[in-house]
Structure 1
């Protein structure tokens, strides 16, 4: 069933946060173990699937609003380099939490919990080296079934998909809200903790449809790449965001194309094509 996808502008996101904050207190995932069980909490969560620049833009907006959120970063991403950590350290300095957005490899999506947790710890240690602080929370890019509405802790880190954090959960997955118009959901105060998940890639100064947003991102990121580099990048983008295909017919105006710098060329990212 299609969801609501009429407004993915920063102005609308600010309205969502303001509406939820009227009766809920924004919290970070690292604070979950010490929160009161009777609720009244707002967990603002951002999964960084594609773009650190998009995440930082949203983080600055939230900082200007006086709220903190948790940003989950992929340490194995081929679309951005998390160890070029200026954006992540700025998110930290703005008061946000930075955790791991873990994309479990196919060979470990079964019952090998020890092996999976070992990989999670490796990613956490890499991110800790970038941030200079402990990493205490994790979300899954493609949730492992046994951890979906599962335990509160995985590898000693707070699991964003824990059962107690999913009782009131709304998400803009694939660039649409399955709950319908989210302001309607947020203006009806409910008991408990709300987890509001957004993906920074879908948001911008003005609204764009998901397929057009991915096309804009593709054009911004590849405008200095060779044809082969663009093909590799396109394949990686498709694999990372399998639910939405970029609209190759959409031609973003030059003003939008100039809003963020291109990602590094393949020549500056050793092994990019080989790791596809």
Structure 2
């Protein structure tokens, strides 16, 4: 199968879910995954847009599957503390999905990671009204890969039980880094697999990763223009040729 990002869109995601179902796979949470079972863990790291994550969450709910969404509190592109951000979190949860922490270690000194991760988990728990039990790392450092150690008392997605003892596929950078999931040796053997995807690649029209990012940026600019106008009457009422 192809592993090019140009074929990633919402229809392709539906087809991917269908392909797993056709092979007898069940979509399960991290704690429920069994190494030798036909289990797939749907993990989503939300790097760019909580709104696009909500779109994917709605698609998955319509397909009858649940996933785990890892969201950031230090992200420059979305803010979960806003009314809209909190509403998006509650919508994802209401659709039957789990929400956990996507943690950027580069924001903190190495000796502050334990405390910082604990603080972020606490804040995210306050926003969702649910315990935060799992952490995924944004651009994980090599020392965290296949590392059994916990962080702030929480498990992470690169522990051996989720990373090396089961199959692992990722669409990082808008293409399958370890080959197409259906070609993975774990899928061929009917064993468990962690499937990491990023909502932006699947909720935008098929194209290159650069084209997808450019489209998202244009849409974001349009939305920000409206928001600025809502908060500043002179900007909203400026001459048309200045817009």
TM normalised by structure 1 equals 0.73
1: CA distance, partners of 2:67 / 2:75: 21
Aligned residue-pair number: 223
Please tell me whether residue 89 in structure 1 is matched to residue 87 in structure 2.
no
What SS is found at the alignment partner of 1:63? Answer: helix
Match of 1:63 in 2: 61
Bigger relative contact order (CA 8 A; separation at least 6): 2
> Helix, strand or coil: the match of 1:26?
strand
Q: Name the CA distance, whole Å, in 2 between partners of 1:96 and 1:223.
A: 29
C-alpha contact 1:16 1:186 (8 A) present in aligned 2: no
Could you say if the C-alpha distance between residues 183 and 12 of structure 1 is closer, same or farther in structure 2, counting changes exceeding 3 Å? farther
Cα separation, 1, equivalents of 2:185 and 2:53? 23
Q: 1:162 aligns with which of 159, 164, 168?
A: 159
User: By how many angstroms is 1:164 displaced?
Assistant: 2.0
Structure 1 position 123 matched with structure 2 position 120? yes
Contact persistence 2:169–2:178 (CA under 8 A): yes
Instruction: Measure the CA separation in 2 of the matches of 1:137 and 1:100.
Output: 6
Instruction: Structure 2: state its 5+ residue gaps.
Output: 232-243
Matches within 5 A, 1:223-242: 223=222
Identify the residue that residue 212 of structure 1 maps to in structure 2.
Answer: 211
Q: Deviation of residue 5 (structure 1)?
A: 2.0
Contact 1:165–1:193, Cα closer than 8 Å, also in 2 = no
**Cα pair distance change 1:23/1:152, threshold 3 Å:** farther
CA distance in 2, matches of 1:17, 1:224: 31
Going from structure 1 to structure 2, the CA distance change for 1:156 and 1:38 (only over 3 Å counts) comes to farther
2:75 aligned residue (43, 65, 77): 77
2: CA distance, partners of 1:106 / 1:13: 32
CA RMSD in angstroms comes to: 2.5
The C-alpha deviation readout for 1:3-38, integer Å capped at 9, x for no partner, is 622311111111112222333221123x25xx5453
User: Structure 2 matches for 1:1-276, cutoff 5 A?
Assistant: 4-21=4-21, 22-29=23-30, 31-32=31-32, 35-84=33-82, 85-105=86-106, 108-109=109-110, 112=111, 115-151=112-148, 153-167=150-164, 168-185=167-184, 188-204=187-203, 206-223=205-222
Normalising by structure 2, what TM-score? 0.82
Q: CA deviation at 1:148?
A: 1.2
